[in-house]
Amino acid sequence: MPTPDSQERSPLYSPGFGQSLVCFCGILLTIAIGLFVFSISLHSLMFLCLMWTAIHVRLLGYDYQAIREMMNAGIVRALPALYIFMLIGFLIAALMHSGTVAALIFHGLNLLQPSWFLAAGLVLCSLMSVATGTSWGTAGTLGVVLIGIGSALSIPLPLVAGMVVCGATFGDKMSPVSDTTNLAAMSAETTLFRHIGAMLYTTVPAFVISFLVFLWLGMRYAGEDLPQASIVEIQQGLSSQYSLGLIPTLLPLIVMLGLSLRRYAAEVCMCASIVTAIAVAMIYQGGNPATVLNSLWSNSPGQTGIVMLDELLGRGGLLSMSWTLLLSIMALALGGLLFQSGILPELLKGFIARLRSRLALIAGTLVSGVASNMAMGEAYISIILNCQLFRKAYEALGLDRVMVSRTVEEGATMSTGLIPWTTAGAFYAATLGVPVLDYLPYAFLNYLNPIVSLIMAGLGVGLLKAKIS
């Protein structure tokens, strides 16, 4: 005897290619036109996409309860990652009050020399973006500083901007507190640190090559003088607000790294780091307990007197994650509808079926990530949808799910800052004062990473196979 659930999930019709194409094109057009023509909120557009898709699913014969269950299913499987999102907000705020980020900026500026300004800037931006999980915050603070220093050294601004984008994107891709990193792991149904570990195979070689290129390019500016006044101003502002000893300020990061290396769950690592950062903020920095704890909900700007720096130091708190968290929930609900109704599988089965080799599959995933960014202007939805789309194809070829999340990030995360009309591209251009197409040739890491991935796939290197239970 069939259960009520099985009766609810029995459609009158299976989605055909035509209906699936109309449904998916409607989603793309809604997001593209809404964002770029009318500047409508992405959350509002996602609501319209949910309504549009629900109508198509209803036409297949599913009732309201079945539609709701499809949406729920898309969200429920990602609940662990959504919990991590909340912890990210707490962690970033705690790291600000512990002086961890301030210490990284302060001591990092001491590393700058004209001959290796570009290489050092890449490392600094990478460290800050890994520590904070934000490419935008890195570009808007340290990036702006480096643009000013680069200008004083007569280094072409597109070259400096390309270096900043490389470093900022590195952390956006690799940081355990980055929203895109967690989105990819969540959407591919793998764990956060396994996802990060898989990305090391392709990201480290690409980063090393980028570092060497920037080091070589920087040698021609060895005779220039650093603008010490700007550096001193930033360091004085930081030292006036924080105690900047490296050992105590970096202790929260050391705790998180140590626990992660011992294979503790990401939630455990983050909670331990948060508690450590709170202790450092209260004991070492002399922070008011109520202020420090309240910042876990909503942090306040710093008080260095340098506007962009204060904005960075005011990042974090659970409230700051609400934009991404709510968008993720809506996108996951949309993904649940599209997949469980059979609309997306029907639309893409022909394309994916032609990707019979591992190299072809990885290449197709990379292209799909870039195309999705170009169509929708945001990496968030691209990451979620492409992970869900390609997961079964990777499993069919015996590849681990981390290969899906890794490749999607190489296509979607790495390309979003190279497309002028994406939110990331527009932000970088406005913040750094350099058009996207001008700095694009120098954003070496962003396009070397996918190239390295393709080369390794062609050679059969770094292809992580699924474990046979």
pLDDT in tens, 57-100: 999 999 999 999 999 987 886 677 678 778 878 887 898 899 98
Q: Which of 144-153, 304-313, 413-422 has the highest mean pLDDT?
A: 413-422
Q: Of 312, 321, 193, whose CA–CA distance to 264 is shortest?
A: 193
Please give the C-alpha separations between residue 385 and each of 27, 275, 324, in angstroms, as whole numbers: 12, 34, 15
Top pLDDT among 321 and 275 is at 275
Section 102-106 average pLDDT: 81
Q: How confident is the model at residue 224 (pLDDT cuts 50, 70, 90)?
A: low
Cβ neighbors of 197 (< 8 A, separation 6 or more) are 402
Q: Residue 88: what pLDDT?
A: 75
Q: Residue 4: what pLDDT?
A: 40
Please give the C-alpha separations between residue 198 and each of 61, 154, 202, 324, 364, in angstroms, as whole numbers: 41, 39, 8, 24, 19
Q: Which residue has the tokens 């392709």?
A: 202
* Residue 252 tokens, joined: 């929260």
CA atoms within 13 A on the CB side of 124: 29
Q: Find out whether 159 and 132 touch, Cβ atoms under 8 Å.
A: no
Q: Find out whether 321 and 90 touch, Cβ atoms under 8 Å.
A: no
Helix axis angle for 358-376 and 17-36, nearest 10°, is 50
Q: Of 146, 53, 122, whose CA–CA distance to 385 is shortest?
A: 53
CA distance 171 to 268: 21
CA distance 190 to 179: 15
Section 442-449 average pLDDT: 96
Q: Would you kindly state where each structural domain of the chain is located, as residue ranges?
A: 14-77+323-459, 79-321
Q: Within 10 A of 10 (CB to CB), how many other CB atoms are there? A: 11
| Residues 228-285 pLDDT 10s | 777 788 888 888 889 999 899 989 988 887 887 787 877 888 899 899 999 999 999 9
Q: Within 10 A of 303 (CB to CB), how many other CB atoms are there? A: 12
Does the structure show a pLDDT above 50 at 20? yes
Q: Residue 143: what pLDDT?
A: 81
Cβ neighbors of 294 (< 8 A, separation 6 or more) are none
Report the range of poorest mean pLDDT among 131-140, 239-248, 425-434.
131-140
Percent of all residues in the chain with a pLDDT value above 90, rounded to a whole number: 35
Q: Residue 377: what pLDDT?
A: 63
- Alpha-carbon torsion 416, 366, 163, 91, what sign? positive
Does the structure show a pLDDT above 50 at 146? yes
* Residue 469 tokens, joined: 């239970």
| Residues 22-69 pLDDT 10s | 998 898 899 889 988 898 888 899 899 999 999 999 999 999 999 999
293 phi and psi angles, rounded to 5 deg? -70, -40
Q: Residue 16: what pLDDT?
A: 85
DSSP string for 380-397: HHHHHHHHHHHHHHHHHT
Q: How confident is the model at residue 10 (pLDDT cuts 50, 70, 90)?
A: low
Q: Residue 28: what pLDDT?
A: 83
| Consecutive H or E run containing 29 | helix 17-36
Q: Find out whether 424 and 135 touch, Cβ atoms under 8 Å.
A: yes
Q: Find out whether 326 and 94 touch, Cβ atoms under 8 Å.
A: no
| Consecutive H or E run containing 106 | helix 100-109
Please give the C-alpha separations between residue 78 and each of 71, 97, 123, in angstroms, as whole numbers: 12, 30, 33
Does the structure show a pLDDT above 80 at 322? yes
Q: Of 11, 49, 23, whose CA–CA distance to 348 is shortest?
A: 23
Q: Residue 336: what pLDDT?
A: 81
Q: How confident is the model at residue 195 (pLDDT cuts 50, 70, 90)?
A: very high
Does the structure show a pLDDT above 70 at 102? yes
Q: Within 10 A of 59 (CB to CB), how many other CB atoms are there? A: 15
Q: Residue 375: what pLDDT?
A: 64
CA distance 424 to 231: 27
399 bridge partner residues: 465
Q: How confident is the model at residue 469 (pLDDT cuts 50, 70, 90)?
A: very low
99 phi and psi angles, rounded to 5 deg? 85, 10
CA distance 446 to 150: 21
Top pLDDT among 204 and 353 is at 204
Cβ neighbors of 219 (< 8 A, separation 6 or more) are 115, 116
Q: Find out whether 101 and 132 touch, Cβ atoms under 8 Å.
A: yes
